Structure 1
Amino acid sequence: MSRDNDLTARSAEPGFWPLYLFDSQATEAYAEAREDEEPEEDEILRAEFPLDRGLGLRLEFEPGIEYVDLAVLAPDSAEARTVGWDDTAHFHPHVMPWSELDLLCRAVALRDPASRYPGPMLALLLRFAFLSGGEDLDTITPLVDAAFSAAQPAEDSDAASRAGVREETRDWFDLRDLRGTRIEWADGPDGCRTVTQHDRDGAMLYSLREPASDEFPFAAWSGLLARATELLDAVRTDPAVRTPAVLDALGRCTGPEGHRHVGALATALSRAGFGHPVLLRALAEPVAVAEAAWAVETLAGTERGTVVAAWCGTSPLAGSRSWRLSLILPAAGRPVRFAQAIAGELSAELHTSGLGWAEVTGSTSVQGADGGHVRHSDQLDLLIRDDLPRGVRVIARLLRGHQAAETAELTHMDAPYERIPLLDPST
């Protein structure tokens, strides 16, 4: 990898996204490469996403330790203030609802001709956004898919077409979907909403934004959102947007077949003297349908996402469901890396079938006869998508092939934590 520490530039390199998304094999390969180079210090990749008036966001990624930090920039503070972080241990990634991420990405793209929306900024910051209830997947899915498509090409187009969405989109959805876990938003300090979770039995909220927090920079975050809203609203104050020809073209663009009329809208805007390069490019040369859609929404003043949903239709994720499972494998009499081998094979088969993934997440040990510690068992976390019985059959078949089904224990990770029989895969 190059030594350029610009995170946005590095995101275009082959192999970056598995590393950024904490793929264990990518992290191991990175560590080996760094050993050969004998680096003097840990590498930190940075990206800043400015609005104006000193407001913006700063993202830092330390690939060597799998750590990502998101901070807000504000004119009244000399230092960027962390709003959340993600790692593999004590993460607090639940920073904002989808609506705020969507707002900020649009506003930054509006100010920066070199940035596109949906694009790398959205893909990079998705890990800090989550679903809590009421979000429209018809709106969200096309934007997330387009963001990952802009940031990296699909390596497995067959898998993408089977699922209807990119694998990265589905991974984000499964990881950050907290709907149904009793998330509550309320007005807090400085007009900034706070978030609380009343049910801790399912997917859990880890956020600095809770009402009693003295760590979250509420005032700075409120200022950032307010300025982003102002910048988007200001587009419609241009007299060119209110000319009859533009208004007529906008009216035709906001319907279900509106994407057929964006070229005429771009022409009408140019003739009326509208000079905003970002929006004109989004209409005349969109890299995805969703890019032209958000430009139409901004110009027409419609609710964000309504045109996206109208043009792109029903989300493939509508009605989707996933299950988190725990698989315990006794270690007695097994090779040292038995669990890793099982996880690798199982994850590959689940992935190929479009059913999910598996990974080793821990182990237990007991005191041996000589007073030392002996590995007792290994734990795998599994995610099964949409078809639980089929996923269980895949698990059972693979374990039986390794003579491990009789002693393995498969359970749900959510209440009531039921045990799942490892049935004969032929039944």
Structure 2
Amino acid sequence: MPLDDDLTARMAEPDFWPVYFFDDQALEEYEEARESEETEEETFRAEFLLDHGLGLKLELELGMEYVDLAVLSPELAEAETVGWDDTAHFHPHVMPWSELDLLCRAAALQDPSLRHPGPMLALLLRFAFLAERDDLDEVTPLADAAFTAVRPAAADGGPTLPAPGTAGAREETRDWFDLRDLRGTGIEWTTRADGHRAVVQHDRDGMPLYSLRDPESDDFPFAAWSKLLARAAELLNAVRTDPVLHTAEVQAALDRCARADGHQHLAPLAAALSEAGFGHAALLRAVSEPVARVEAAWAVETLAELPQGKLIAAWFGASSLAGSSSWRLALTLPAAGRPWRFAQEIAAELSAALQEADLGWAETSGSTSVQGEHGGYVHHADHLHVLIRDDLPGAVRLISRLLHAHQAAETAVLTHGEKPYERIPLTATSA
């Protein structure tokens, strides 16, 4: 079992996913509850295995804002970290979307209890990023379905409906897109002298790449990672050697399912596979009883030898995130004359207002101190990270109104979080 009973049960509780995603308010509430109840720190591990000792290992400590991903291989004495995510010195850019999708498909083939899309994709998505060749039409349906599987409805207080203007996109999918879209930032894949694939970034003006997978890196287990990907591809290709798939009845059924309306012909395909004695339980179930339509789509892609993701795009059409834009802003609030928690309260109120308007979110990102006249250090300023979606002028007006309401606009400094870090006016006319 890749997910033990403790982690499976914990993922079903209301606070797990907000804490796992480092939500400020959820983390604060979690820590307060843990201290009041005097409970121990919660540590979880999950292994997602292929075969021959190859797989991935995820480790997390809830509330500690640290998640580690490692690769497992028989050539390694122990699991070796390929990336980690935290709020300080993170290196989460492990793989492009296409590699994560490949690994999830292969793991689902090996373990019938592990559905794709499902917990593996939802947990590991933070370690994947969008590169130039990744197509949102292929990505969005799988990401949405994964989060729906692990966080289905209002029972856990999680997102229930797509945000206005983004029909079909869950909030978790949009959050990941905002943080991991590296298209147009100078990402280039290159092959090292040893034949392993590495990634570099030439344009550092956009969202920066934080990855151990640099061509000159001695910290990334390139050989083990390449072997893992190769084995995943072999497992998917091996399915296609089954003679059952080449019978006339199954071929005809696959041809119908491979069209844009193919999801309407899944029942005949499932019947043809069963009658022909197709023995791969995970794929047969994916076609006959999919956890979501997109599970059937990747199963048909596998059975019909279609390019990864192409049928998904054909079945679901244009991604609801196509054409979306986002901006990262930095908001500095001088601390002089303000209550100690002023910035935290502003961040919470601003984030709630931005989310309600479907314009983004805000969170605290640190503070600075200066040396006082008597030698000690004095709290000087607090810093907020603000992410804006689609409507920058509208979001700036909202930020201005809130800061003016708290008599903070005259001293606050709002700038773009990326080069050239231009300052954005917080004028009274915006209030």
The aligned runs of 1:202-351 (5 Å cut-off) are 202-351=206-355
Q: Deviations over 1:64-119 (max 9, x none)?
A: 42111111111122311111111111111111111110000000001111010011
Does structure 2 conserve the Cα–Cα contact (< 8 Å) formed by 1:5 and 1:44? Answer: no
Partner of 2:152: 153
Q: Deviations over 1:277-333 (max 9, x none)?
A: 111111111121111100100000000101100001100111111000011112221
Residue 153 and residue 75 in structure 1: after superposition, are their counterparts in 2 closer, same or farther (change >3 A)?
Answer: same
Give the superposition deviation at 1:36.
4.3
Corresponding letter in the other structure for 1:23: D
Distance in structure 2 (CA, Å) of the matches to 1:242 and 1:228: 23
Number of aligned residues: 423
Distance in structure 2 (CA, Å) of the matches to 1:426 and 1:97: 40
Q: Which moved more, 1:82-91 or 1:185-194?
A: 185-194
Distance in structure 2 (CA, Å) of the matches to 1:406 and 1:29: 32
Distance in structure 2 (CA, Å) of the matches to 1:418 and 1:256: 46
Give the superposition deviation at 1:161.
5.5
Distance in structure 2 (CA, Å) of the matches to 1:57 and 1:426: 50
Give the superposition deviation at 1:37.
4.9
Distance in structure 1 (CA, Å) of the matches to 2:127 and 2:325: 21
Distance in structure 2 (CA, Å) of the matches to 1:30 and 1:333: 30
Distance in structure 2 (CA, Å) of the matches to 1:267 and 1:275: 13
Q: Deviations over 1:326-355 (max 9, x none)?
A: 111122211111111111111001001111
Partner of 1:142: 141
1:19 aligns with 2:19: yes
Residue 159 and residue 303 in structure 1: after superposition, are their counterparts in 2 closer, same or farther (change >3 A)?
Answer: closer
Percent identity between the two aligned chains: 68
Partner of 2:45: 46
Give the superposition deviation at 1:423.
3.4
Does structure 2 conserve the Cα–Cα contact (< 8 Å) formed by 1:282 and 1:295? Answer: yes
Does structure 2 conserve the Cα–Cα contact (< 8 Å) formed by 1:190 and 1:218? Answer: no
1:77 aligns with 2:76: yes
Partner of 1:163: 166
- Structure 2: gaps spanning 5 or more residues: none
Query: Secondary structure of the equivalent of 2:296?
Result: helix
Distance in structure 2 (CA, Å) of the matches to 1:136 and 1:183: 15
Which of 347, 350, 353 is the matching residue for 2:357? 353
Distance in structure 2 (CA, Å) of the matches to 1:122 and 1:37: 32
Distance in structure 2 (CA, Å) of the matches to 1:196 and 1:59: 25
Q: Which moved more, 1:415-424 or 1:140-149?
A: 415-424
Corresponding letter in the other structure for 1:172: W
Residue 8 and residue 150 in structure 1: after superposition, are their counterparts in 2 closer, same or farther (change >3 A)?
Answer: same
Tell me the TM-score normalised to structure 2 length.
0.94
Partner of 1:57: 56
Distance in structure 1 (CA, Å) of the matches to 2:148 and 2:255: 29
Query: Secondary structure of the equivalent of 2:102?
Result: helix
Does structure 2 conserve the Cα–Cα contact (< 8 Å) formed by 1:364 and 1:377? Answer: yes
Does structure 2 conserve the Cα–Cα contact (< 8 Å) formed by 1:5 and 1:46? Answer: no
Distance in structure 2 (CA, Å) of the matches to 1:5 and 1:27: 23
Moved over 6 A (4+): none
Corresponding letter in the other structure for 2:64: I
Residue 190 and residue 5 in structure 1: after superposition, are their counterparts in 2 closer, same or farther (change >3 A)?
Answer: farther
Distance in structure 2 (CA, Å) of the matches to 1:75 and 1:296: 32
Corresponding letter in the other structure for 1:30: Y
Distance in structure 1 (CA, Å) of the matches to 2:373 and 2:85: 40
Does structure 2 conserve the Cα–Cα contact (< 8 Å) formed by 1:72 and 1:221? Answer: yes
Give the superposition deviation at 1:38.
4.0
Does structure 2 conserve the Cα–Cα contact (< 8 Å) formed by 1:6 and 1:46? Answer: no
Does structure 1 conserve the Cα–Cα contact (< 8 Å) formed by 2:257 and 2:263? Answer: yes
RMSD: 1.7
Residue 202 and residue 320 in structure 1: after superposition, are their counterparts in 2 closer, same or farther (change >3 A)?
Answer: same
Does structure 1 conserve the Cα–Cα contact (< 8 Å) formed by 2:25 and 2:348? Answer: no
